[in-house]
Amino acid sequence: MKIAVVGTGYVGLVTGTCLAETGNQVICVDINEKKVKMMQDGQLPIYEPGLELLFHRNIKQERLHFTSNLAEAIAEAKIIFLALPTPPGGDGSADLSYVLGAAKDIAKLITDYKVIVTKSTVPVGTADKVTAVMNANTTIEFAVVSNPEFLREGVAVEDFMKPDRVVVGTKDERARKLMAELYAPYVRQGNPVIFMDERSSELTKYAANSFLATKISFMNEIANLCELVGADVDMVRRGIGADNRIGKRFLFSGIGYGGSCFPKDVQALAKSSEENKYNFRILNSVMEVNEIQKKVLVEKVKKYYKGDIKGKKFAMWGLAFKPETDDIREAPALYIIDELLAAGAEVSAFDPEAMKNVEALFGDKIKYAADQYEAIDGADALLIVTEWSLFRTPDFDQMDSLLKEKVIFDGRNLYDLDKMIDCGYYYNSIGRKEIK
């Protein structure tokens, strides 16, 4: 099938590349000519495990193309994916100007039936708005489909190639058939393509992310309570996760959720509920808990040093909002760095992928170590901020010789409490006993 993908951000590139992988002819379009040139030269502008291989293979086999010319991109495409940014506007609701602008441009260019698919996370009612904009600018037949993405950064390729489900919102029979055909190779294990109306599909995306964020905030509150009552959140997590109705996944307490999706989507759903005169009480609490949780690690540090951390040197392991990504959007690390610097402390950080992005924000205000051990050299304490695999089994002997004091504040509960007792560390994690 011939496909166009408008927007080559994270979602657009993963979508375009993975659609080419099953034999479709895909052309990705972006207004950023420099970026287009870069991709035409075979350079992938984002970091995502597994994507590079597919990207190069499909370019080489001439199934994946790039252009900055919208007319050229959509001329032969049957299906046009819109993977454009929907940043939060000043009031928290999603800004649709890119999506609606593209719809208008596309409407003016089409000469035969097209399926326009919104892939970006868009508020309920967006498909209707896109339809209205298109109708105002063309008399050619088209269908607008809502097809939200559920990709997790770090495993996006796997999520696209073998999705738990694909949600397709459309009332157009022709579009439904085309979408079923397009996704058939991805759901061969029997996972469903769930067809529904556009509004339900749009809401599904927000509901999914908000529900997951709710799970996290709930567990973070349980963790805080565990510390007060002397329980261990890891035990409670295992105890409740074994119940199939609850499920094992997404129950890890930590220092709050971040990234480009959860904070934005929870806020947008709360906002759209408000606009519809509905007070979505749980969501407001989910956001409030997350804001508080981002502060937990720094508060533990300040409490340990009795409020005075001026001149102390802290090592930070992990900066990205989660492992296997260089993404630092809404990362708890940013808050932690700000707080430590404001209190007069020094920071020496290491992250396998996200250092460049943090450097662009903080410049020489903090130190960037070449590896995890250089980061702790001469540090008063270590803060664990992102659960990268290589931080899970460090060489504790080497650490002992580098750290000034054997003190760890762990925002991700990486280490076994008994191990920390054996190694003689002061170890303060989330929702577990403080090891002194």
Which residue's CB is nearer to ligand UDX, number 133 or number 337?
337
Q: Are strands 2-6 and 79-82 parallel, antiparallel or unpaired?
A: parallel
Q: Least separation, in Å, of the C-beta of 211 and ligand UDX?
A: 10
Cα Rg of the chain, angstroms = 24
Q: Under rule CB under 6 A, which residues in 327-386 are in contact with ligand UDX?
A: none
Chosen residue from 30, 48, 149, 198 binding ligand UDX by CB under 6 A: 149
Chosen residue from 2, 56, 129, 152 binding ligand UDX by CB under 6 A: 152
- Give the C-alpha separation, 199 to 419, whole Å: 51
Q: Least separation, in Å, of the C-beta of 23 and ligand UDX?
A: 25
Q: Which of 363, 203, 183, 391 is nearest to 280 (CA)?
A: 203
The yes or no reply on residue 151 touching ligand UDX (CB under 6 A) is yes
Which residue's CB is nearer to ligand UDX, number 25 or number 120?
120
Q: Least separation, in Å, of the C-beta of 192 and ligand UDX?
A: 16
Q: Is 261 a catalytic site residue?
A: yes
Which residue's CB is nearer to ligand UDX, number 123 or number 258?
258
Choices 30-38, 93-101, 128-136, 143-151; region in contact with ligand UDX by CB under 6 A: 143-151
Chosen residue from 7, 12, 123, 259 binding ligand UDX by CB under 6 A: 259
Q: Least separation, in Å, of the C-beta of 251 and ligand UDX?
A: 6
Is the separation of the CB atoms in 204 and 232 below 8 Å? no
Q: Under rule CB under 6 A, which residues in 299-338 are in contact with ligand UDX?
A: 321-322
Q: Under rule CB under 6 A, which residues in 214-233 are in contact with ligand UDX?
A: 216
- Give the C-alpha separation, 36 to 8, whole Å: 9
Chosen residue from 58, 120, 209, 429 binding ligand UDX by CB under 6 A: 209
The yes or no reply on residue 391 touching ligand UDX (CB under 6 A) is no
Chosen residue from 55, 81, 206, 252 binding ligand UDX by CB under 6 A: 252
Which residue's CB is nearer to ligand UDX, number 186 or number 425?
186
Residue of 18, 28, 226, 261 marked active site: 261
- Give the C-alpha separation, 256 to 241, whole Å: 19
Choices 165-173, 244-252, 282-290, 396-404; region in contact with ligand UDX by CB under 6 A: 244-252
Choices 160-168, 255-263, 275-283, 346-354; region in contact with ligand UDX by CB under 6 A: 255-263
The yes or no reply on residue 254 touching ligand UDX (CB under 6 A) is yes
Choices 38-46, 135-143, 258-266, 358-366; region in contact with ligand UDX by CB under 6 A: 258-266
- Give the C-alpha separation, 419 to 268, whole Å: 43
Choices 12-20, 78-86, 251-259, 419-427; region in contact with ligand UDX by CB under 6 A: 251-259
The yes or no reply on residue 51 touching ligand UDX (CB under 6 A) is no
The yes or no reply on residue 167 touching ligand UDX (CB under 6 A) is no
The residue ranges that bind ligand UDX (CB under 6 A) are: 149-153, 209, 212, 216, 250-252, 254, 257-259, 261-262, 321-322
**Positions marked catalytic:** 261
